[in-house]
Amino acid sequence: MRFDVITLFPETIEAYTNASILGRAQKAKLVKVKAHQMRDSSKHKWSQVDFRPYGGGPGMVLEAESIVRAVEKAKKKGAKTKVIMTSAGGKLLTNAYAKTLVKKFDQVIIVCGRYEGIDARATKILKAEEVSVGPYVLTGGEVPALAIIDATARHIPGVLGKFESIEESRVASHDVYTRPEVFVHKGKKHRVPKVLLSGNHKEIDAWRARRRSGGV
């Protein structure tokens, strides 16, 4: 699966996606992530892409032309492509949505919003879907773009290495433990719950289910 990100800060996208799990997934050719500098598609002097909004108001707005040109250049011929605009007021990113992207598309192009937003004509022309990663406002769309890529890529077979690593597919609790069995801090002993040391997987699964549901 291919992810193309249209952004003013390609280095932000590259630093994260070239590391750890996504970095290994790219080396294994399971995914490909390419960040495109939005300014490279500008026709204006100094590669400007932001302008004052019509009707007045604070801040600047990203113009439609540069974004449309960038997306059209990034589209791969013959690919089933989904175009996403990061937006605080968009559709909420969920695991179900991420799975749908993997199932239905070969390429996902994400346009990172910035300043006061993106000219609405770009969204309309590209038939893009606005997506939000939560009920808050960030300074730019790079973090949401990374969240979309990360949440989606982990559902691609082979990216995580083992299917059991996908948390929602197994019985897990919010509390996990590892060595040592007894951790001493400021004179107080903090122990691993006995059930996890019992070897009784039925009881362990029941304990994890209770913890996950808020029980004891």
Under a CB-based contact definition with an 8 Å cutoff, are residues 112 and 6 in contact?
Answer: yes
Angle at 129 between CA 155 and CA 52, to 5 degrees: 130
What is the percentage of the chain residues whose pLDDT exceeds 90? 84
Burial of 116 (0-12, 13-18, 19+ CB in 10 A): middle
Q: Looking at the chain, which runs of residues are DSSP E strands?
A: 2-7, 32-37, 50-51, 61-62, 81-92, 107-111, 129-132, 182-185, 188-191
In this predicted structure, the answer to whether residue 214 has a pLDDT above a threshold of 90 is no
Kindly report the backbone phi and psi dihedral angles of residue 209, in degrees, each rounded to the nearest multiple of 5, phi listed first: -65, -40
* pLDDT per position as a tens digit, 138-169: 999 999 999 999 999 999 999 997 654 655 55
Please report the pLDDT score of residue 87 as a whole number. 94
DSSP H or E run through 68: helix 64-74
Averaged pLDDT, 180-197: 96
Please report the pLDDT score of residue 169 as a whole number. 56
Please report the pLDDT score of residue 170 as a whole number. 55
In this predicted structure, the answer to whether residue 216 has a pLDDT above a threshold of 80 is no
Q: What is the CATH T-level fold of the domain 2-163, as seen in this structure?
A: Alpha/beta knot (3.40.1280)
Averaged pLDDT, 25-53: 97
* pLDDT per position as a tens digit, 41-100: 999 999 999 999 999 888 999 999 999 999 999 999 999 999 999 999 999 999 999 999
Under a CB-based contact definition with an 8 Å cutoff, are residues 4 and 109 in contact?
Answer: yes
Under a CB-based contact definition with an 8 Å cutoff, are residues 42 and 67 in contact?
Answer: no
Please report the pLDDT score of residue 166 as a whole number. 56
Summary mean pLDDT of the chain: 93
Query: CA-CA distance, 30 to 36, in Å (whole number)?
Result: 20
Per domain, the residue ranges of the chain are 2-163, 171-212
